[in-house]
Amino acid sequence: MKVIIQILRRDGRDLEPYRQSFEINPPLAATVSWALGELNARLPLADIDGKAARHIAWNCGCRQKTCGVCAMVINGRPMLACSAFIEDLTVGKNTVSLEPLSKFPVVRDLVVDTTMLEEKMLEAGAFLSGASGIERARDGRLMEISQCMLCGCCFEVCPNCLPNGPFIGAAAMHGALRAALQEPAAGHRKRILRNARGKGGRLCSRALSCQAVCPAGIPVTGTLASL
């Protein structure tokens, strides 16, 4: 089965986006990561109309749903390219749409600048005052929230998350709780939780769209209950 990969491209930060389509013939169990790698392996690369195209810019790391850097909007839903199977994406159709995450500055094509997530972590106060408290780190919730990859999928889909808005988002709340669970100083631990509660928990509308798209399946309800 031939599949059309339609990509929303941008040649640079300040340039206008445009759509370009490519045709592939994917094997069984092929992912979007495979498709992008296969296209970039073509020399030269041409689009579906036979026009020459520059190679596609996208972030790729582990290809094992661990690092989170390949997050993008696939068929209108934020997800990781390495775990998005083309067979699942083309049920009843033969086109897969790829776009960069829309709430982050686009660097080029599918690559975005996610520095904002780090800034939200700092706003949440998600840092330790000293060495990790080993006993507190044994809390069962720590393993769960430590799976957060800071991929940006939760920020992309959340109706309350805006680039310059006050809400820090699910990832930053997870980070704050993770820091609090390891923080040895009771005073600083309380400050972390109070800060995250004010900038996160109290501003969350409980839409839970973040929980629905989280590649790691982290339940934000548990984090909200712990803040």
In the prediction, which pLDDT does 219 show? 92
Give start-end residues of each CATH 1.10.1060.10 domain in the chain: 115-226
Q: Give domain 115-226's CATH number out of 1.10.3720.10, 1.10.1060.10, 3.40.190.80, 3.40.50.2000.
A: 1.10.1060.10
Does the structural domain 3-112 have CATH classification 1.20.1440.120?
no
Characterize 114-131 residue by residue with b for buried, 16 or more Cβ atoms within 10 angstroms of its Cβ, and e for exposed. bebbeebbebbbbebeee
3-class DSSP assignment, residue 157: helix
In the prediction, which pLDDT does 141 show? 83
pTM for the model stands at 0.93
Q: Do 159 and 108 form a contact (C-beta atoms < 8 A)? A: no
In the prediction, which pLDDT does 136 show? 56
Q: Do 174 and 218 form a contact (C-beta atoms < 8 A)? A: yes
Sign of CA dihedral 166, 169, 175, 179: positive
Give start-end residues of each CATH 3.10.20.30 domain in the chain: 3-112
In the prediction, which pLDDT does 5 show? 98
Q: How far apart are CA 135 and CA 42, in angstroms?
A: 53
In the prediction, which pLDDT does 143 show? 87
Q: Which residues of the chain have pLDDT under 70?
A: 134-139
pLDDT digit string, tens, across residues 30-88: 999 999 999 999 999 999 999 999 999 999 999 999 999 999 999 999 999 999 999 99
